[in-house]
């Protein structure tokens, strides 16, 4: 499983494999998802069923639920053994979850030493489906998943940065040739155009590469 996660070529493929492994490996798990919570806004990053996304939506709207808490709180595991009973900790979410057919669920914090990344959600339609063994395997999966998720995200960011650097270099070359500037002057022109127009540098760079022109800049003769 660990080798499989680290072998994926994108963040999304890594997350898709995480939830697939959860259903395959955790006893009692019928559906799984990965969510993040930023400023109380919930995003479903991966899921094995539409029910998972609907559960995430409800938790986001109510600002409560085991997975909502797992993505925000320091505790590593949240578990609801029987969703058909009164759940004091999440009194508004539990009735909505029952309507979705959720009998029991668990939420695991996905984190590394430096990053809190979100939550791994595990669902079953059967009450008390998750045992201590389920929790242990889920925790192991979440630990490996967090490392793989962090690694995939770092790789994606590095790739984007390399692409951006290449594009900036290409744009600088175009500006140097067209406006008869040296490298430092050409970059200064790109940056000033970005600041004056309140447009991100990458958008200015894209325009230069596509048109050979900087909006508003005058060509030196």
Confidence of residue 111 (pLDDT cuts 50, 70, 90): low
Say what the pLDDT of residue 85 is. Answer: 79
Confidence of residue 214 (pLDDT cuts 50, 70, 90): confident
Domain definitions of the chain by residue range:
2-153, 157-211
pLDDT tens string 21-53: 999 999 999 999 998 887 778 889 899 999 999
Class in CATH terms, 2-153: alpha beta
pLDDT tens string 154-187: 655 555 656 677 788 888 888 888 888 888 888 8
Q: What is the 3-state secondary structure (H, E, C) of the chain?
A: CHHHHHHCCCHHHHHHHHHHHHHHHCCCCCEEEEEEEECCEEEEEEECCHHHHHHHHHHHHHCCCHHHHHCCCCCCEEEECCCCCCCCCCCCHHHHHHHCCCCEEEEEEEECCCCEEEEEEEEECCCCCCCHHHHHHHHHHHHHHHHHHHHHHHHHHHHHHHHHHHHHHHHHHHHHHHHCCCHHHHHHHHHHHHHHHCCCHHHHHHHHHHHCCCCCCCCCC
pLDDT tens string 83-100: 877 678 888 999 999 999
pLDDT tens string 184-203: 888 888 888 888 888 888 78
Work out the mean pLDDT of the chain and round it to a whole number.
83
Look up the CATH architecture of domain 157-211: Orthogonal Bundle (1.10)
Confidence of residue 221 (pLDDT cuts 50, 70, 90): very low
The percent of residues in the chain predicted with pLDDT above 90, rounded, is 29
């Amino acid at each position: 499983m660990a080798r499989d996660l680290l072998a994926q070529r994108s963040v999304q493929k890594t997350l898709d494999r995480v939830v697939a492994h959860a259903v395959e490996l955790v006893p009692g798990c019928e559906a799984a998802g990965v969510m993040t919570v930023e400023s109380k806004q919930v995003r479903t990053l991966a899921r094995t069923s539409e029910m998972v996304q609907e559960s995430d939506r409800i938790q986001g709207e109510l600002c409560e639920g085991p997975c909502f808490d797992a993505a925000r709180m320091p505790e590593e595991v949240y578990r609801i053994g029987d969703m058909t009973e009164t759940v004091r900790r999440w009194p508004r979410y539990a009735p909505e979850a029952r309507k979705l057919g959720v009998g029991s669920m668990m939420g695991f914090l996905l984190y590394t030493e430096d990053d809190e990344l979100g939550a791994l959600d595990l669902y079953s339609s059967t009450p008390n489906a998750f045992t201590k063994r389920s929790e242990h395997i889920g925790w192991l999966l979440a630990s490996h998943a967090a490392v793989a998720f962090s690694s995939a995200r770092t790789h994606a960011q590095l790739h984007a940065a390399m692409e951006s650097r290449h594009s900036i270099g290409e744009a600088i070359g175009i500006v140097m040739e067209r406006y008869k500037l040296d490298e430092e002057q050409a970059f200064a022109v790109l940056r000033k155009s970005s600041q004056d127009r309140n447009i991100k540098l990458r958008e200015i760079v894209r325009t230069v590469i596509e048109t050979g022109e900087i909006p508003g800049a005058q060509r030196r003769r």
